[in-house]
Chains A and B, each alone.
Chain A
């Protein structure tokens, strides 16, 4: 029976993202802006751009997900949906986990799929695409989960946008480091595998911590 609730919640969030445009459009615009502005800022040196590309792409992905974090629970909190969800049979930690996964499906995952090809604007080697896709798709789940912590912690705040960035940024540091390390390791003598393993470990860890932390924060707001 739990599945019915989870499916309902995921379907609703996807339908909402589709109806309202969600944050995906704005986030995509942000990534595109970075891809266009970086060469304008640094000059069209192809070798330099190629060297900086993976880091810039990860940065763009990370910040664009960050932009959508503060809206993750805000509406549901304000319109009383969370009240009803708290009264449901579904454990509240599963509610927050499901919402984070819905966020991943509607925002982070599409961005992680679209960003690597956009890197061609920064002169990345097409041979880099598979590892970029792999690391970004893996890392984007951690990004969504960690964003859910920030979103929950600021759900009841009118202007939570800036605070959310301050709170999530430290949590995103390891994801950024291992994400970029995984995407660039094969350019040097190293293998991407250790960084990918670390990235997976981070994702698993957020999978454990984020639902608990978000649920606890939202409960505090509902009280």
Chain B
């Protein structure tokens, strides 16, 4: 643990790991997309549009997982005062937000042929929407507070309160949805899905996961560089 806490050690490790990560990501996307677009069959009800699922579902689940990871990083920052934990949470947020946006956009694209409208207040999409707000709020905190140590301390709390809120929102939105709409049309996953569809889905999920890891390590590297730059500038002002 202590070894990774050292930014210099981390930078070295990240630099060594990144080429492998990108290679794995490219491979997974190649295989996953081939499976999703070529080998997997069209759905007997939804036709070709079902292929949106191979982007929508991975993006949505990764968006959720990344938010949870952000909260874990924040908790680690509070409990162990790990110097890299705040940076990790900070850089994960924009990536998670993009995934979240991707999930919303593909959900909307899916909605047009399925329901004949661009947006439906389906329970799943609504929860995603709230998650997007949580991401935006978290990033806005880093944007609005100038002093980095203070911004980090506040951002931790926002992330943790947010992650407590996620399951509550999920539960309440499901409740609300069953009150107003009899059933969700977007039903998938679970054991009912066929293997020919399942393996491309899982591969795409892994591809999105490795893409996140690659992006995350890259932006953490630049975050650490920015910190060093800032430190040097402050030192210069101090010596003046």
Q: Would A and B touch once assembled, by the CB under 8 A criterion? A: yes
B161: chain A residues at CB < 8 Å are 149, 171, 209, 213
Residues of B in contact with A (beta carbons under 8 Å apart): 130, 133-134, 136-137, 140-141, 144-145, 149-150, 153-154, 156-158, 160-162, 164-165, 168-169, 171-173, 175-176, 179
With A149-B161, A177-B175, A223-B150 already in contact, 7 other A-B pairs whose C-beta atoms are closer than 8 Å = A153-B154, A166-B136, A170-B169, A171-B165, A177-B172, A177-B176, A217-B153
Interface size classification for chain A: 20 to 34
Residues of A in contact with B (beta carbons under 8 Å apart): 149, 153-154, 156-157, 160, 163, 166-167, 169-171, 173-174, 177-178, 181, 198, 202, 205, 209, 213, 216-217, 219-221, 223
**Contacts A166-B137, A170-B169: A217 and B175 contacting too (C-beta < 8 A)?**
no
**Contacts A170-B134, A220-B154, A221-B150: A213 and B176 contacting too (C-beta < 8 A)?**
no
Residue of A with least CB distance to B134: A170
Residues B144 and A170 in contact, CB atoms below 8 Å apart: no
Contact of A202 among B144, B150, B168 (CB under 8 A): B168
Residue of B with least CB distance to A160: B144
A-B contact count (CB 8 A): 78
**Contacts A181-B179, A213-B157, A216-B157: A198 and B172 contacting too (C-beta < 8 A)?**
yes
A110 to B164, CA, bound (A): 29
Chain A interface main SS type: helix
Q: Shortest 5 CB-CB distances between A and B: which pairs?
A: A220-B153, A174-B172, A177-B172, A167-B137, A177-B176
A219: chain B residues at CB < 8 Å are 153
Residues B169 and A173 in contact, CB atoms below 8 Å apart: yes
B154: chain A residues at CB < 8 Å are 153, 217, 220-221
A205 to B171, CA, bound (A): 15
B169: chain A residues at CB < 8 Å are 170, 173-174
Contact of A223 among B144, B153, B165 (CB under 8 A): B153
How near does chain B come to A80, taking the closest CB pair, in angstroms? 17
How near does chain B come to A170, taking the closest CB pair, in angstroms? 5
How near does chain A come to B174, taking the closest CB pair, in angstroms? 10
Contact of A170 among B130, B145, B179 (CB under 8 A): B130
Residues A163 and B175 in contact, CB atoms below 8 Å apart: no
Residue of B with least CB distance to A190: B179
A91 to B108, CA, bound (A): 48
Residues A157 and B157 in contact, CB atoms below 8 Å apart: no
B175: chain A residues at CB < 8 Å are 177-178, 181, 198
A149 to B140, CA, bound (A): 15
A167 to B157, CA, bound (A): 11
Residues B173 and A173 in contact, CB atoms below 8 Å apart: yes
**Contacts A153-B157, A166-B133, A167-B137: A178 and B150 contacting too (C-beta < 8 A)?**
no
